A = this chain, B = another copy of it.
Amino acid sequence: MPTRPPAEPGMSLDQVTTPALIVDLDALEKNIAMLADRVKGNPNGVTATPHAKAHKCVEIARMQMAAGGSRICCQNVAEAEAMVAGGISSVLLSNEIVASDKARRLAALAHKAKVGVCVDHPTQADILSAAASREGVTLDVLVEIDIGMGRCGIAPGDEAVKLAQYIAGKAGLRFAGLQAYHGGAQHLRKPEERKAAIARAAEMARTTAEMLRAAGLPCDVIAGAGTGTWENELASGIYTELQCGSYALMDADYMRNETASPFVNALFILTTVISHAAPTRAVCDAGLKSMSLESGLPLVFGRDGVTYVKATDEHGQIEIAPPGTIAIGDRLRLVPGHCDPTVNLHDWIVAARSGKVEAVWRVARGW
């Protein structure tokens, strides 16, 4: 029983079943072209490897590859499977896996596409090697180093070199370089804070790469970067791949970074006012089950005096103050606080232009 799509191509946005995830195609195309233009022809040969964890959508990934992306990053095996099934020729699982069945599924993709994966522990390498050997394929492996995020990642330097040597000796695996993503730096509000964090990260990646080369291990790839910091990684002379994800869709939280972003908001939750039982308050049908709120409440787009003040599971409470007016049945566009986990709540993306639905895309769900 797959869910019913909320719209059909050709519909007006007024006919879409709400709450619905809307992508403004003009804005999406602008964002994808903007990053591609800024990366194109850079002196260091850096490429964009856009992250599908933000949109989980093969149609958007295809647009990003057509704009010059060298591969698509994924955060889980189900995303990678969806991308390869949709014709993406090269994927990187920018994450660790330890389950044999996930390793087997990932290795199976390497019959149809180039497949990379991250490792920060020998056990992961053992499991991936066994799966790759059984499938008769080779997986490109990046050693993930902790360059300040404190999440996944082995320590830069000696430990990373030892792990890379271990990987290089495993059947079915090819050591390809370093994963050096600093997620914590993306939302530092001040540009100088983000710049300093990435300078430190780049330095750790640089010294580790030199130690790797000195140990006879080529280190072709140094991957990382996100929507908040990519200009720093691009300028570093160290990073070779930019894994920006949110840039294509954007969200209210990224808009709070203290720098004029070159990207524009392309993502909305379309919601309907279902109750208006008192003059200053109304209720819309978008709450916690259609938006992720850990990065703050959504903004109401283009409606002065109409504010989203509280979310419960299926309801959003709206306050109305002059000059705001609202009527039952009104449709509002909300800019969600955080795009990735908001997209993850939906089964479908409604792709629209000038108020008209052009396409309805499936969200690659599961793990």
Q: Given the known inter-chain contacts A314-B76, A340-B313, A341-B288, please indicate yes or no for A152 contacting B99, CB distance below 8 A.
A: no
Structural contact, B283 and A294, CB atoms closer than 8 A: no
Produce 1/0 per residue, A24-63, CB < 8 A to B. 0000000000000000000000000000010000000000
A:1-45 near B, CB below 8 Å: 1-4, 6, 15, 17-20
Q: Which listed residue, B95, B120, B289, touches A344 by the CB 8 Å rule?
A: B289
Copies in the complex: 2
Known: A289-B344, A366-B347. A273 touches B4 (CB 8 A): no
In chain B, what residue has the closest Cβ to A76?
Answer: B314
Q: Is A336 an interface residue (CB 8 A)?
A: no
Classify the interface of chain A: helix, strand, loop or mixed: loop
Q: Is the CB of A155 within 8 A of B277?
A: yes
Contact B277 A288 (CB under 8 A): no
| Whole-angstrom distance between the Cβ of A185 and the nearest chain B Cβ | 13
State whether A281 touches B120 (Cβ < 8 A).
Answer: no
How far apart are A295's CB and chain B's nearest CB, in angstroms?
A: 10
Contact: A274 with B4, CB < 8 Å? no
* A275 within 8 Å of B (CB atoms): yes
Chain B residue, CB-CB nearest to A289: B344
A348: nearest residue on chain B (CB-CB)?
Answer: B366
Chain B residues whose C-beta falls within 8 Å of the C-beta of A313 in the assembled complex: 53, 75, 340-341, 344
A148 at the interface (CB under 8 A from B): no
Please give the distance in Å from A151's CB to the nearest CB on chain B.
Answer: 6
- Give the nearest-CB partner of A290 in chain B: B367
Q: Across the interface, do B3 and A365 meet the contact criterion of CB distance under 8 Å?
A: yes
The 10 A-B residue pairs with the shortest CB-CB distance in the complex, in nearest-first order: A3-B366, A152-B275, A96-B274, A288-B341, A289-B344, A120-B277, A154-B277, A98-B329, A75-B314, A3-B365
